[in-house]
A and B are shown apart, each in its own frame.
Chain A
Amino acid sequence: MTPLAHGIGGASDLPIPFTYAVVGAAWALTFSFAILAFAWREPRLDPHSPGRALPAGLRACCDSPAVRAVLGGLGVAVLALALAIGVFGDRAQARNPLPGMVYIFLWVGVMVASLLVGPVWKIVSPVRALHRLGCRMAGRDPARGLLPYPGGWGMRPAALGLFSFVWLELASPEPGSVTAVTAWLAGYVVIGLAGLIVFGTVWAERGDPLEVYSSLMARLSPLSRRESGELALRWPLNNLAGAPASAGMVAVTATLLGSTAFDSLSASAGWRDLTLDLAGNSTPSRTLFQTAGLLAVIGIVAAAFTLAARATGGVSGAERAMLPIRLAHSLVPVIAGYVVAHYLSFLVEKGQATLILLADPLGLGWSLPLLGNLEVHYVLSAHPAVLGSIKVAAVLAGHILGVTAAHDRCLRLLPPRHRLTGQLALMLVMVGYTFTGLYLLFDA
């Protein structure tokens, strides 16, 4: 196994200086207890708050069927191009743009865009677009499938899909292999289309890993929809409070947070030594070891969160069992902060390198205009102090938003006598996540 960083070659970020990590950790701790002790005492965050409606012209443009059709068509065209590159392009991963398209543009770019402007993948999703087209030709309603979506599944299918992706990226023998990435993408399309045909669009909302991830990130965007469907600007925390509290929410958030943490951990010298000691250097045993490590980190994140969310007095057993699911939305900002910290330079710099590879997508010696004469500007890596500050700021911002969201939801869910003590364990776990995240940014 060649432990390429995220399946893409090249250098990775320098660690953040120790002082940055310590200052970040100190602020995280301070803010957590300040919020616990001094923030509001009655729930305030309201997913139904009206916000400020966008100008009518802009709304009409965003929602016009023509714009939607063009964006969906673009999604299908890029997917077709990606699959063509995967099947007919250069087999050498360093000369094939597909791994970069999937690991950088799709897995990081779409999610960061969702943070800024709302559920991007729902709009450009090629599986949704193909399904809509098929339904229109067959004269069917896309929302209606052949079978009702089993209520007990919740978001668990999406959690499985997300795990398959992070396993490919972080634990599989050849994460950068063009064939492996193509296979994942093809599998995603086939399963996505099958799910849509069988269950209707509810599958995309709950079972499609990329749409579930993108729509969760979109909860932190200031752009959102009112009940009436009008696009409005709203405080992101109000928006986040409306995140779905369905089964599988803990699995989805723990997979995203745990896998990002594992990505840092597996690059550290300590983990590499451990891998060598316990798994040797044969590929199957290493893959097994990496898989076990990835599962363990995700499991620890999920278990710590579940136990902490349940650690309160004054609620019935049934209510207690629902607490982790109802509080899991507070992990979304933590994930977003950590993803930005972890993948920003990857997105900006390796993203440019992928654009350059797209000048000759199929390895035929082309040099497409605009792309052919680009060169990579290492705007972030060249300034490690700036990059380090951005990373700590992102982790800290995610932590503060997460703790605030959890505090507000606890006020709503917990009986008055247990409002402070009931959220203490959860807050400690979130501080623990942030400390660990900062330590990993420093160590690896």
Chain B
Amino acid sequence: MARWSGRGVSARSAVAVFALVALLGCGVTGCGSQTSEPAASGPVESTAADHSGQAVTVGIRLAGGSVSPVNARAEARVGEPIELVVHSDTEDELHVHADPEHTFPVRAGADQRFTFRVDVPGRVDVELHEANVTVTTIYVRP
């Protein structure tokens, strides 16, 4: 279990974070009915990755045989670019289970970026094939 130290944030706390952000966003801007606005402008991720502009970014780190994060959760909108930023010390293959599916080769090296869009609402699993784990599940909403 200790090997998977990257799994700091579970799906449950991702929901909590999401709710908190919605609440804070509301408190700061003093909005009344526009509580859904934070979801549209700032997608929340359970990964520690930064997200610049509109793109949803998922940071993935493969180091010493362990993957971080695993079984995480991310939110995105239909048509929005989703970027996977990979830092790896090994070769692997990323599978994005969307329609259509995407496969990205991972090399040993820092800052490898893979971008895709999802055009149909759904739950999209991102998996590392060799490591045999689900990195994150992206909830793509309309």
Residues of A within 8 A of B (CB): 1-5, 9-15, 94, 267-270, 272-273, 276-277, 281-283, 286, 349, 353, 376, 378, 381-384
Binding stretch for chain A, among B34-42, B50-58, B118-126: B118-126
Verify B121–A9 contact, CB threshold 8 A.
no
Majority secondary structure, A binding face: loop
Q: Mark B79-104, 1 if CB is under 8 A from A, else 0.
A: 00000000000000001011111000
A267, A272, A383: residue with the most chain B Cβ atoms closer than 10 Å: A272
Known contacts A9-B97, A384-B142; A273/B71 CB under 8 A: yes
B131 touches A281 (CB 8 A): yes
Are A11 and B73 neighbours in the complex by a CB distance under 8 Å?
Answer: no
Could you tell me if B71 and A2 are in contact, using CB atoms closer than 8 angstroms?
Answer: no
Tally B residues with Cβ within 8 Å of A: 33
Contact: A11 with B120, CB < 8 Å? yes
Q: Which residue of chain A lies nearest to B138 when distances are taken between CB atoms in the complex?
A: A11
Closest residue on chain A to residue B73 by CB atoms: A269
Is B121 a contact of A276 with CB atoms below 8 Å? no
Min CB distance B52 to A, Å, is 25
A269 to B71 alpha-carbon distance, docked (Å): 6
* Among listed B4-12, B23-31, B106-114, interface-contacting one: B4-12
Whether A11 pairs with B97 at a CB distance below 8 angstroms is yes
B45 within 8 A of A: no
Residues of B within 8 A of A272 (CB): 71, 134
User: Of the candidates B98, B132, B141, which one forms a contact with A10 in the assembled complex, judged by CB atoms under 8 Å apart?
Assistant: B98
Q: Which of A3, A14, A94, A281 lies in contact with B125, CB distance below 8 A?
A: A3
The reply to whether the CB of B140 lies closer than 8 angstroms to some CB of chain A is: yes
Question: Which residue on chain B has the smallest CB distance to residue A270?
Answer: B11
B11 touches A2 (CB 8 A): no
Q: How far is the CA of A145 from the CA of B50 in the complex (A)?
A: 69
Are B131's CB and A14's CB within 8 A?
no
User: How far does the Cβ of B99 sit from chain A's closest Cβ, in whole Å?
Assistant: 4
Residue picked from B1, B73, B127, B132, most chain A C-beta under 10 Å: B132
B120 contact from A267, A268, A269, A378, Cβ within 8 A: A378
Q: Who on chain A is nearest to B124 by CB?
A: A11
Residues of B within 8 Å of A383, CB to CB, are: 142
- With a 10 A CB-CB cut-off, give which of B11, B125, B141 has the most chain A CB atoms: B125
What A residues does B131 contact at CB under 8 A?
281
- Inter-chain CA distance A109–B118, complex, in Å, is 27
Question: How far is the CB of B79 from the nearest CB of chain A, in Å?
Answer: 12
Query: With an 8 A cutoff between CB atoms, is B47 at the interface?
Result: no
| Known A9-B97, A267-B123; further 4 A-B contacts with Cβ < 8 A | A5-B97, A12-B97, A381-B120, A384-B142
Distance in Å: Cβ of B51 to nearest Cβ of chain A: 21
A-B contacts, 11 of them at CB < 8 A, read: A2-B129, A11-B98, A11-B99, A12-B122, A273-B7, A276-B4, A276-B71, A381-B121, A382-B142, A384-B141, A384-B142
**In the complex, A384 Cα to B141 Cα: how many Å?**
8
Contact with A along B1-22 (1 / 0, CB 8 A): 1001001001110000000000
